[in-house]
Amino acid sequence: MIIMEKCITKLSNNECINLTNLSVEDLIKLQYEEECWAAEKILELPPFSVDRNTFMAKAYEFVNTVMDECFYKQHGRKAVAWGASKVNAKLLAKLVLEKLKKNNTGQTVLYEAGVGMGFSIKYLLSFLKRNYKKTGKPECSIKGCDIVLSPDIIKLYEHYPEVEIIQGNVYDCIKKIPDNSIDIFYADNVFEHFCPDEIEAIICEIDKKLKPDAFVFLIIPNKFAGPFDVSKHFLPFGSKAKGFHFMEMSFNDVTIMMNKYNINHSHCVFQIPKLIAFCVRSKFLVKMKLKLETVFAKIPFPAFSKLMFSIGGFSRSIMKKDSEHDNTSSC
């Protein structure tokens, strides 16, 4: 049997590494060391600069290659998603269906930031096909972007004309979308990758593109239950992430950040771990979650605390744009 060697050049010193010879533990250590080094360099580069964007694309391509090799050695198969999950995809599909039923004229536009391998889009396309089998094709346009386009995504949008994915960072890509045109903005494990010195400008640009009453569905790892990037293998529970998760946030952080643009919680999400997530329209439950978060963060037993954050859905925010809000006033 001939084993093909997979070599990669380290970001930190241009050393050529043969991934084939590394164990799972060695691969995780390599990812941690290189990702932490690259994260520091990214933050040193000017916001929205060509240098930062170019280096980020190179760094993510390196990390994705290492993660793919690690996953294959652990499971004997290729990964189908990084970060995205069926639980979140189901919640997204319900939001899309709700918009489709209310939008009798024109297209319903979904924009996904950070499409990854296209897991959520593939699930949504299958969901819409099942639900509109008798009534015909729904008027749903799916747009999105990613800093590195995977082969899976390229194949996907070649076969679906209603899907349009472009390569680039979220800020540059979202600027190309017409103002007041998005019905649902979706980002599954993406916002934590934004640099702190860029996030206000990114949200401001997203805000301009939202229609009145648009949904904003964000999945952002909760900092009180983290870290969730590669740091989790090396740092204690509750530590600040050191890799590409620049902005793991609390439920309160997300609320304050989005409320400045009159984007407020419309649903409260809960989850039965590893089974199903469901959402309830209730301002009271949202207020309870905001208060309980600080309580759970002080629990001295990490396993129990993490379970509470999981059941409470503290990493998921389903929000809605204020229909009377002027999109240009906050920017």
Q: Where are the domains of the chain?
A: 7-75, 86-321
C-alpha span between 242 and 227 (Å, rounded): 8
Short-list 287, 216, 282, 278, CA closest to 251: 287
Asked whether 127 and 120 are in contact (CB, 8 A), the reply is no
CATH superfamily ID and name for 86-321: Vaccinia Virus protein VP39 (3.40.50.150)
pTM beyond cutoff 0.85: yes
Ordered per-residue pLDDT tens for the chain, 331 residues: 344 568 899 999 999 999 998 999 999 999 999 999 999 999 999 999 999 999 999 999 999 999 999 999 999 988 877 778 889 999 999 999 989 888 766 689 999 999 988 899 999 999 988 887 655 667 889 999 998 888 878 777 777 878 899 999 999 999 999 999 999 999 999 999 999 999 999 999 999 999 999 999 999 999 999 999 999 999 999 899 999 999 999 999 999 999 999 999 999 999 988 778 889 999 999 999 999 999 999 998 999 999 999 999 999 999 999 876 555 555 6
Asked whether 57 and 148 are in contact (CB, 8 A), the reply is yes
Short-list 35, 18, 12, CA closest to 229: 35
Ramachandran quadrant class, 319 (left: phi over 0; alpha: psi -120 to 50; beta: rest): beta
**Residues comprising the chain, all counted:** 331
